[in-house]
Chains A and B, each alone.
Chain A
Amino acid sequence: MNIPRNELLAVGAGLAGAAVLAFLPLVTEGFWLSVSVNIMLYAAICTAWALFSGPTQLVSLASAAFFGVGTYSVAIFVDVLPFPALVLIAVAAGALLAILVGVATLRLSGVYFVIFTLGLAELMGQIVTWVQTNFGGTIGLYVFTDLTEAHLYWMLLALTVIVFMTGWLINRSRLGLALRIIGNDEAVARHVGVDTARARIILFAVSGAFIAVAGAIMAPRYSYITPDAAFNPMTSFLVVIMALLGGTRRLWGPLVGVVPFTLVMDFISGHFPNQTAVIVGIAFLSIVYVLPDGVTGQLESLFRRRRPTDHSLLATAVEEGR
């Protein structure tokens, strides 16, 4: 494989950075460690979200559904299986859900997909509640493990590294090439024989599986798991807002949004618990209006004086031409 030198450098720098971050639980605990867990959590989820929604320009509003599926994979089997097996179940469950959604919607125009994902978390929550009240007895489930906050941090850090590596490998693969062609011009992609629906479904499954793993890792922290908490729509919302703030054109774009936003969110939910939704709503709107390309996109166009990338433009121009 012929890997450009600057990419190798970036990968090396990323791994070195991750190695340094791995020492964090040894020097701090309590409040800052728990904030770091949150940052790592959203770093993993937002990057996984952007793996799909970045190149395809399809806004997925279903992060909470995958997150909850992962959490429940742990909650249901925690007493009978070891934790690594639970993570594998989460991978399978997340990918399966994504494939089902993808098969139903990704062969059609994008708007169906967005609509389908809008209520998906709510749907999963409703189904889980129904199953539990009719067959399971109680609504909540307990998750007791020996995992400490530091363990969660390390697992999330590892997950983030894996998400980044996957994103990088996809970019270099045939799938990545196919996605770039689809992003540039879907009609052209079809003509040169790219199975556009298949490429999207695979990518969505990868993204969904990662988000489910994040949910699985977080399950021990909640210890008591209810459908309302696991499938909280706020998760989907925060993921979109952080990824947009950072920008989705670069793999590391979402990360730029995650770090400051998680810190600010922590402050807001600590000091204004009742106004959180309102403040976050306003923040979201300002990002959509003021920074449509995110911080990284804005910086890029400032420095390079390049016109905003054309791939979003062309892809949608095809839509309009229909």
Chain B
Amino acid sequence: MLILLTGLLLGGTYTLIALGLTLQYGVARIMNLANGETLVAACFVTFWLYAGYAINPLLGLLVIGPGAFVVNWLIYAWLMQPLVKRARNRGMLEVDSILATFGLLFLFQGLMLQAFGGSYFNYEFLAQPFSIMGDSFGLNRVVAFVAAAVIAAALYVFLYHTDRGTAVRAVAVDPRAARLVAIDVRRTAAFAFALGGAITACAGTLLSTFYTFNTSMGVLFTMKALIIVIMGGVGDIRGAVLAALVLGLTETLVASLLDPGLTLAANYALFILVLLFRPQGIFGKRPA
């Protein structure tokens, strides 16, 4: 029961990371391998705000979310847009965006390494026990889960109950058809990329409240996010939520029953199962 709930609490944060990535890949069609660096950067900014200015990480979200939105918008406008224009088809864009964001990954990692060094960081925030059904959990983990759930729910309402959100989903389904109903595809794609980055950054802030982080862990989280997105099916929000919870649960099971050093191996094991049995995603339809 302890493992089950710990896994679910972790899955809450993973959900946000994956939702960020699925917006960037599913809507803006950018396979962002530097997604994890956004997350790590948010961890460090949160740490810096908390340690330097005693700003509560939850309040920090209000700065970091919009900040990441602007930064990711600029990344899209300056770095991704030229690739979109250059690409003659989706496959070419995929290769180009993979290469470009792979370069960004090392650039950002290098910048952060210079600023913060390679050591591990953590800070104490709400480090008190909180009891659920007889077991006690870190209050920070519970708060992070609740905050993640609130943000995910807000995203859901936005995507499914507003015009802007409907436009985002339309571009995800078919960019060409979206143009026929007067959706500005370029703007919407930029918006989705920026929003995805902002959501990933929020996930980073929440993660940092209970997780020990360092500058080189970005790739691990990009992997987790990618695996969740594929497991859930690209662009499928329900799928992503379920997949994130499954991943959080599997990781916690492996970490507590086998060895914490095998979490990535657990991720990969799950990934292989998905590739072998349901490459189209949990709720995806089998392609004809």
Contacts and interface: CB of A to CB of B under 8 A. Distances in A.
A binds B: yes
Interface of A: 57, 59, 61, 104-105, 108, 110-112, 114-116, 118-119, 122-123, 126-127, 129-130, 133-134, 233-234, 237, 240-241, 244, 274-282, 284-285, 288-289, 292, 312-313, 315-317, 319-320, 322
B103 A281 contact: yes
B219 A281 contact: no
B110 A289 contact: no
A228 B275 CA distance: 28
23 contacts: A57-B91, A59-B95, A104-B275, A112-B279, A114-B98, A115-B226, A118-B226, A119-B267, A122-B219, A122-B264, A127-B265, A129-B261, A134-B259, A241-B103, A275-B110, A276-B110, A280-B110, A284-B99, A284-B107, A285-B104, A288-B99, A316-B90, A319-B90
A112 B111 contact: no
A276 B111 CA distance: 10
A274 B113 CA distance: 9
A130 B220 CA distance: 17
A319 B89 contact: yes
Classify the secondary structure of A's interface with B: helix
B91 A316 contact: yes
Contacts of B211: none
Majority secondary structure of chain B interface residues (helix, strand, loop or mixed): helix
B92 A280 contact: no
Nearest to B268: A123
Given A285-B103, A285-B107, A130 B91 contact: no
Contact of B106 (A123, A237, A322): A237
Interface in B184-241: 219-220, 222-223, 226-227, 230
B259 A104 contact: no
Contacts of A284: 99, 102-103, 106-107
Contacts of B219: 118-119, 122, 233
A281 B106 contact: yes
Given A123-B264, A123-B265, A127-B265, A281 B275 contact: no
A282 B107 contact: yes
Nearest to B217: A122
Nearest to B86: A292
Nearest to B82: A289
B8 to A, nearest CB: 24
B-side interface size class: 35 or more
B91 A320 contact: yes
B276 A313 contact: no
Contact of B94 (A111, A118, A240, A282): A111
B41 to A, nearest CB: 14
B33 interface: yes
Nearest 5 pairs between A and B by C-beta?
A316-B91, A277-B110, A281-B107, A284-B103, A278-B110
A251 B105 CA distance: 28
Contacts of B100: 285, 288-289
A17 B130 CA distance: 71
A314 to B, nearest CB: 10
A288 B98 CA distance: 10
B92 A240 contact: no
Interface string B251-263: 0000000010110
A134 B95 CA distance: 40
Contacts of A104: 272, 275-276
A122 B221 CA distance: 12
A97 B111 CA distance: 33
A280 B106 contact: yes
B3 to A, nearest CB: 20
Contact of A277 (B92, B98, B107): B107
A278 B111 contact: yes
A118 B106 CA distance: 13
A313 B89 contact: yes
A129 B276 CA distance: 27
A319 B95 CA distance: 12
A272 to B, nearest CB: 11
A233 B272 CA distance: 21
Nearest to A277: B110
